Chain A
Amino acid sequence: DAGVTQSPTHLIKTRGQHVTLRCSPISGHKSVSWYQQVLGQGPQFIFQYYEKEERGRGNFPDRFSARQFPNYSSELNVNALLLGDSALYLCASSSRDRENIQYFGAGTRLSVL
């Protein structure tokens, strides 16, 4: 079975631009979460979606937004990019059963110049 897939793998943008990152969850998983990982730190929670509804939001500015589609895939959008947005963006999916284990994709490496 395919794991969590993310696209693109790498992205280079300039300050002020907009970016869209995409994620396809593991088949059967209805929950998708997004995390930002800056080099040398652990991932930080951005959003969680379940059944197309936002279930949680981390401490990120309104420039960050996300949505989930009927097929449970998800997009993360970031507007007005800043240099500090350079990071590895991780998507995780889970089945929201008792174990609530989140499985991660390989991530999208975003560089803002």
Chain B
Amino acid sequence: EDQVTQSPEALRLQEGESSSLNCSYTVSGLRGLFWYRQDPGKGPEFLFTLYSAGEEKEKERLKATLTKKESFLHITAPKPEDSATYLCAVSSSNTGKLIFGQGTTLQVKP
């Protein structure tokens, strides 16, 4: 059964304190791994998609990496506006549906 697990569930950082969020997955034929950001009361906002092990993508203070079993979202020198829930999802080759993890809620304090 396709499954996604994110850790930690919650993360508190001081402004400027870099860290990483983990997404472990099992899927029958990875079609893509997706990272989304979700602010309270809003829909998920697309950040990155990764397709094969070794791939990396960057956007401002965020960098996503992918291995055959997990993905990391690295946050460098975070700012308070980076506070949000970060969701990881996978799409298998069998269907187009996204299977989400439970998310990591990040709080960055000034």
From known contacts A99-B32, A101-B49, infer whether A55 and B44 are also in contact, taking CB-CB under 8 Å: no
Does A106 contact B96, Cβ atoms closer than 8 Å? no
Proximity string of chain B (35-79) to chain A, C-beta cutoff 8 Å, 1 when within and 0 when not:
010000111111001000000000000000000000000000000
Which chain A residues numbered 26 to 66 have a C-beta less than 8 Å away from chain B?
31, 33, 35, 40-45, 48, 55-56, 58
Min distance, Cβ B45 to any Cβ of chain A, angstroms: 7
Q: Which 4 A-B residue pairings sit nearest by Cβ, starting from the closest? A: A42-B100, A104-B43, A45-B97, A104-B44
Q: List 22 A-B contacts (CB under 8 A).
A: A31-B96, A35-B98, A35-B100, A42-B102, A43-B87, A43-B98, A44-B100, A45-B99, A55-B96, A58-B97, A90-B43, A90-B44, A94-B96, A96-B96, A100-B31, A100-B96, A101-B34, A101-B49, A103-B46, A104-B36, A104-B44, A106-B43
| A-chain residues with CB within 8 Å of residue B97 when the two chains form the complex | 33, 45, 48, 56, 58
From known contacts A90-B44, A106-B42, infer whether A45 and B98 are also in contact, taking CB-CB under 8 Å: yes
Does A100 contact B91, Cβ atoms closer than 8 Å? yes
Smallest CB-CB separation from A103: which chain B residue? B46
A13 and B102 alpha carbons, distance in the complex (Å): 27
A-B contact count (CB 8 A): 63
Interface residues of A (CB under 8 A from B): 4, 31, 33, 35, 40-45, 48, 55-56, 58, 90, 92, 94, 96, 99-107, 109
Min distance, Cβ A51 to any Cβ of chain B, angstroms: 13
Smallest CB-CB separation from B31: which chain A residue? A100
From known contacts A41-B102, A55-B96, infer whether A107 and B42 are also in contact, taking CB-CB under 8 Å: yes
Min distance, Cβ A9 to any Cβ of chain B, angstroms: 9
A41 and B38 alpha carbons, distance in the complex (Å): 12
Does A102 contact B98, Cβ atoms closer than 8 Å? yes
Smallest CB-CB separation from A33: which chain B residue? B97
Does B46 contact A101, Cβ atoms closer than 8 Å? yes
Min distance, Cβ B75 to any Cβ of chain A, angstroms: 19
